[in-house]
Amino acid sequence: MWLDTPVELTGEGNADDEPETTPDGDVAVSDLVGQINAKGLRARGLDGSGVKVAVIDTGVRATHPDLEQRVSKAENFISWDDEKSDIDGHGTHVAGIIAGTGAASDGRYAGVAPGAEILSARVLSGPLGSVSHIIDGMEWAADEGVDIVNMSLGSRALSDGTDPWSLATEALLERGVLPVVAAGNDGPRSYTVSPPAAAEGALAVGAAGGDDAVASFSSRGPLFGDHSVKPNIKAPGVAVTAARAKDTPIGDIDPAGPEGPVDDTYTRLSGTSMASPAVAGAAALVMQAHPDWTPRQVALALVSSARPSAGESVYDQGSGLVDAERAVDQRVTATSSALDFGRLSWPRAAEDTRRKVSFTNDTAEDITLDLTLDVKSTRGKLPTTLLALAEDQVTVPAGGTASVAVAFHDNGIRTGGALSALLTAESGSTAVRVPVGLSLEPESHQLTLNLRDHLGEGADGISLVDILPLDRSLEPFEEPQLATLASKITVRVPAGTYAVSAFIGRHEDDSYWFDSDIVLTGEPRVRVDKATELTLGGTAARKLAHKVDDREAENIYRQVGVAQRQAKAPAGERGPLSLHTDVQFRHRAPDYWAVPSRTRAKGNRYTAYFREDLAKGYVYGKAPDGAPGDGEYSYPTATGPVYYLAAFREGRIPAALTGRVKNSQLARTEARYHAAEQTGDFDLPFPLKSKLATATVKGVPVGGRRVNVPSPGTRTEFFTASKDIAWAQELRWSWQNADSFDPLEHRALLTRPEVFRPGPRTEHWNRPVGAPALAPDGRQLTRTGDTVTVDLPLGGDSDPRHLFTSDDLYATYSYTLSRGGEQLTRSRDGAEESPRNTALAAWDVPADTGTYTLRAHADRSQWNAVSTEVDGVWSFRSGRTAEGTTAALPLTGVRFAPPVDRWSRVADGRTVAVPFTLQRTGDQARGRVRALTVEASFDGGATWRRVPVVKNRALIAHPPLATLPAEHLDRNGHGSVSLRVKGADRASTFAITVKNAYKLKKS
């Protein structure tokens, strides 16, 4: 369930002659009661007295000054607590809009019907609740004899009004209760009105701004399924001021801009949650004025008398903005809230299709109404002449009814779309509005697909089918991706050209998975201009599998997929439509097959691919030393060689997608995985690390499987070498327990996608020293306007290509930012956010240009034996960026690569050359690095020795371990080397210190 919670507003208000607005341009409401034309009724003594309104919500704080003596009963229907008041703040605000007396504001913020009686049903606690709780509250309210039920809540699931909640809402009308319901906050997209506003008898309320225009967030129609008109009406719902439940999550929400607390007793909130109680209050005034009217009559009076806004369709606003005084006084109303044609299917009858609506005259004189029909094409650019009035005038007898017809003139149109119209019937000051809706199905035909497995038999496994239109956008509710267990599927599709792909499953009783075999098949171009039947799959299938030089390598991962995309964007779309479906298995995969296409793509994308990982020395279900071995975890591990392979074909599915692949055709990597003996607080062995390789095939992202690699260790890894295939790799610090549970993403090394050439290469993983690991895009230290943001993981390894994710769970971070020697106050701390990110912080800084110093520190000693502490100090100049732009500020990182062994150790008593790479990022011109110095420490940073630097190599003389005091040796008898580097360039200075960067061992 969702609450109609506020949208975020920004801006601190404008001059008195300019309305306050939201980022999306919605105008804040300044006078709700006046905007809905209810002040005149209040002057006439109408205040809702004698009318009972149930607020089905988070409860109501009855002790609020505006609601004292207004709440007659309160009940709780939540099963996990017995609280009856409002501990969230939503229901109190809603009740204040309906019946707040304004006692705390001398009447300024009084509700629409301050004399109405409120009954509170608490059915939600924050965002949590259930339909059963809500229906219980609705039924209780009806049993208590309420006249109106207000529900400022709804469901994310769409419905045509036949869901249980909508049916329960419909039943309220039969019990003499008017349901007023928020339409939802999922606009401006169409088909977003949700239950229970989907109920035919629910008065579904959209939100308007202070200028009467529909709010950007307000849910729009038509209704899912039957394409009927919803919402029915709109009311003010942007930054509405009403009762505040202080010290509650919603009562205290205080975003920038016009929303948030006004004082201790009032707050401003936005949503159709605020619009719905405005209409409920107006309904209470109508009921007081006309106690003999049924709830349905009251609803029709409100809808018939609403004020429409120009330029908005009835699917946006219903009949318009509620007008309380006109609803009370106008004696001519329509007998239905809308005139709906629904969706007319193709082919259509040759004669005109007509729908009628009746008008009721509750006066003593005949009234002649002049009729107009304002038609808009809301989808598909349909001619507005397709809808017309059968007559332009009607006389409604005194005390009687008369009907008029609206006709759909079918001129043979084959395209689809939607028309909306507002029927207005006027006579003098009388103006009756009736929304009209019509949807047309385009020329459509049946497309039947016969699905055959590789033996030519009807499919009996799980099959996936994609049907992408190549020459149009999707129709509402059109599902281009289908799943079935049947051997034949029939879908109704608009006439046109399609790209079809399918993954056909065959089931065997003894299969490890449900499907024993999967057949890739499809046709890139299928023309449908009549009933069409197509057979996919069959005995032409050929098995998909790579053959490699190492015959002992077994399959450990398979993925097959098809990526499709239209040649160009269809009318009304920002870009071409696309589909990408794949089937992958991580363990004991089914056999994969492919059937060649008979057609080829023409301009449209149709990329078929196959991904496969093969491995020698693959072990599954064996727990490493020190790991849980209770059978819950499988620890998939491969000692190698491992083959990461990908094959593809564009334009069609080929007869042979895979085949023999020689080692000489592949990129061969000698991957060396380093480790360090544990000496810190964490003292468990981690002999495995989780490795993943994924591919990007012609721009299509393709997956892979995480499999452990022994660490320390060396593994040969082969990659498909192709200019069209880029590989991204990731190594996580902890092991892969099971296929379904990925290890934590924190403290992971990763690469950006890169293309490999055939031939040998060597890659070191987790080899010290690298901190911080800078990303090439420079987005780890930025300035946007007057905000400086840092997101700088202080870890990494020696390879400049390797990026690093935050040590979030494994390190303690601290940041300071100073300007001119004065430390600034942090405005954002990622460690306090969810999801947590200790590597992130931000500061609001002065607009003028100044000199800044960033200091970053990470204590990694609890979980790490090397690079236990990292310090960085950077100075730079910065000023405000242009509006809407972000500047990357200068950072420098250093990646040392000492000649360590697999345990991150170097022999003592000798001088070694330690290569290093400087990484510099930022938008400013940097120039050459000057005044570069490198220092080493062998006592944990207590003392430092400057070392020679020759061509980006630091010449470090390692002392014999025997010369080091015992307190500077770890429990394994090893010493450590700490490193510090300083330098400057045209844009910045930097100083980076890594303590215990690597280990010293006995020669």
Catalytic residues: 57, 90, 273
3-class DSSP assignment, residue 283: helix
Give residue 154's identity as a one-letter amino acid code: G
* Burial bucket for residue 318 (CB in 10 Å: 0-12, 13-18, 19+): buried
Render 886-901 in DSSP notation, one character per residue. Answer: EEEPPEEEEEE-----
3-class DSSP assignment, residue 545: coil
Place of tokens 């050459």: 928
464 within 8 A of 514, measured Cβ to Cβ = no
3-class DSSP assignment, residue 680: coil
219 within 8 A of 181, measured Cβ to Cβ = no
763 within 8 A of 774, measured Cβ to Cβ = no
DSSP state of 165: H
DSSP state of 835: S
Taking residue 545's Cβ as centre, other Cβ atoms within 10 Å add up to 17
Residues 6+ apart with CB under 8 A from 95: 55, 57, 60, 67, 70, 71, 111, 118, 120, 243, 277
Place of tokens 């009628």: 356
- Quick one: CA torsion of 267, 272, 274, 275, rounded to 10 degrees? 140
- Closest to 109 (Cα-Cα) out of 275, 264, 243: 243
Question: Is residue 641 reached through a cis peptide bond, with omega within 30 degrees of 0 on the bond before it?
Answer: yes
Residues 6+ apart with CB under 8 A from 74: 59, 60, 62, 84, 85, 119, 120, 121, 122
Q: Whole-angstrom Cα distance, residue 52 to residue 71?
A: 10
For residue 446, what are the β-bridge partners?
Answer: 492
Determine how β-strand 430-440 pairs with β-strand 886-888: unpaired
Q: Is the dihedral of CA 680, 684, 688, 689 positive or negative?
A: negative
Give residue 22's identity as a one-letter amino acid code: T
Cα 861 to chain center, whole Å? 37
Q: Whole-angstrom Cα distance, residue 739 to residue 587?
A: 8
Render 211-223 in DSSP notation, one character per residue. Answer: TSPBPTTS---S-
Which two three-digit tokens encode residue 369? 């109404």
Give residue 49's identity as a one-letter amino acid code: S
Crossing angle (nearest 10°) for helices 90-99 and 272-289: 30
318 within 8 A of 230, measured Cβ to Cβ = yes
Q: Whole-angstrom Cα distance, residue 705 to residue 701?
A: 14
Which two three-digit tokens encode residue 316? 């946006």
* Burial bucket for residue 794 (CB in 10 Å: 0-12, 13-18, 19+): buried
DSSP state of 321: B
Render 435-500 in DSSP notation, one character per residue. Answer: EEEEEEPPSEEEEEEEEE-TTSPBP-S-EEEEEEESSSPPPTT--SEEEESSSEEEEEEESEEEEE
3-class DSSP assignment, residue 376: strand
Structural Rg of the chain based on CA atoms: 35
Which two three-digit tokens encode residue 182? 């928020």
Place of tokens 């492919």: 594
Q: Whole-angstrom Cα distance, residue 73 to residue 55?
A: 11
Q: Whole-angstrom Cα distance, residue 5 to residue 196?
A: 17
